[in-house]
Amino acid sequence: MRPVYRKRRVLPTKFMQSLDPQVYGELRKIAKERGITMQELIRAVIVPDWMNKDQSRNASGSPRRSRTARGASKRLRAKITA
């Protein structure tokens, strides 16, 4: 008998965010005014808006580099100047 292989579901990536108490209070107030939860506000309003702004900023020629790439670049410069 052959084993049955199931396709793996692609699960969304989770992340944790820390907010300044004043920012948290403001976001909570906005969510309450809209009649939605903080999570819904962040997921449906803030993240899509941020993504749109980020894409338009990157279209202007500012390439994005990962944190790892930036760190490697700094280490390389440190070695060159040492």
Give the domain ranges of the chain: 21-81
Q: Give per-residue pLDDT as tens, 52-81.
A: 988 877 766 555 555 555 566 565 556 565
Tell me the residue length of the chain.
82
Contact 64, 58 (CB under 8 A): yes
Which is more confidently placed, 27 or 57?
Answer: 27
Specify burial of residue 12 (Cβ count, 10 A radius: 0-12, 13-18, 19+): exposed
Amino acid identity of 36?
A: I
Which is more confidently placed, 71 or 20?
Answer: 20
Q: Give per-residue pLDDT as tens, 32-50.
A: 999 999 999 999 999 999 8
* Residue 31 confidence (pLDDT) above 70: yes
* Residue 23 confidence (pLDDT) above 90: yes
Query: What does the alpha-carbon distance between residue 64 and residue 67 come to, in Å, rounded to a whole number?
Result: 9
